[in-house]
Amino acid sequence: MKRNGGALMPLLWPTVSVHKITDIKAEQLHAMGIKALILDADDTLSGHGEQVLFPGVETWLASMKASGCAMLIASNNFKERVEPFAKKLGLPFISLSLKPLPVGLLRAVHRLGTKRSETAMVGDQLFTDILGANLIGLRSFLVTPESMEARFGFRRRLEVSIRKKIGYGVLGGKEKLNGK
């Protein structure tokens, strides 16, 4: 498949693009046949390195759990950062997941006990979360990061033009959420 003029684009293109994680609804996941989510932590659930969730995320996690959606945190960060965060949320985790390399995401799918076709990745970075998901055939949800952090300066600058083509984190991926 060729999209927007380049062979690399399909690997960086999310299935769905949303403003924030709380825009993802259990009904849409069910309609898509998704039973489990692999969640990035930094700039998806909370600020980078922070233990405090973004507003609404705690309620969203509870509603996802209540709907029967299995969840796991997969982060490229160290265990010392991810473990207390995941423990506080009652979620299993994989630290040093090495996204976009397939190994960490494949381990996550295995730990969730789902098929790849029933699992989606949720994250804020095209070159780690979305690329990793596409490399192993997972569907993906791209969220808009709270900030375009300086620590990822070069990668984030590359992302800007791609995000503009997909609506910069607002609805506009391959599938639209909430019928919009």
> Does 154 fall in a domain?
yes
> Does 176 fall in a domain?
no
> Does 173 fall in a domain?
no
Of the chain, the percentage scoring pLDDT greater than 90 comes to 63
Q: What is the band of 50 on the pLDDT scale with cuts at 50, 70, 90?
A: confident
> Does 155 fall in a domain?
yes
> Does 114 fall in a domain?
yes
- What is the mean pLDDT of the segment spanning 25-35? 97
Three-state DSSP class for residue 172: coil
Per the structure, how many domains does the chain have? 1
Least confident of 27-31, 137-141, 143-147: 143-147
Query: CA 58, CA 74: separation in Å to the nearest integer?
Result: 18
> Does 62 fall in a domain?
yes
Least confident of 83-97, 143-157, 165-179: 165-179
> Rounded to whole angstroms, what are the CA distances from 180 to 49, 165, 171, 173, 177?
33, 17, 8, 11, 6
Query: CA 146, CA 98: separation in Å to the nearest integer?
Result: 22
pLDDT of residue 97: 96
Q: Give the global pTM.
A: 0.84
What's the gap between Cα 90 and its chain centre? 18
- pLDDT: which is higher, 50 or 80: 80
> Does 2 fall in a domain?
no
- What is the mean pLDDT of the segment spanning 5-12? 65
pLDDT, tens digit (0-9, with 9 covering 90-100), for 90-144: 999 999 999 999 999 999 999 999 999 999 999 999 999 999 999 999 999 999 8
Of the chain, the percentage scoring pLDDT greater than 70 comes to 79
Query: CA 79, CA 163: separation in Å to the nearest integer?
Result: 30
Domain encompassing residue 138:
9-165
> Does 63 fall in a domain?
yes
User: The domain spanning residue 136 has which CATH number?
Assistant: 3.40.50.1000
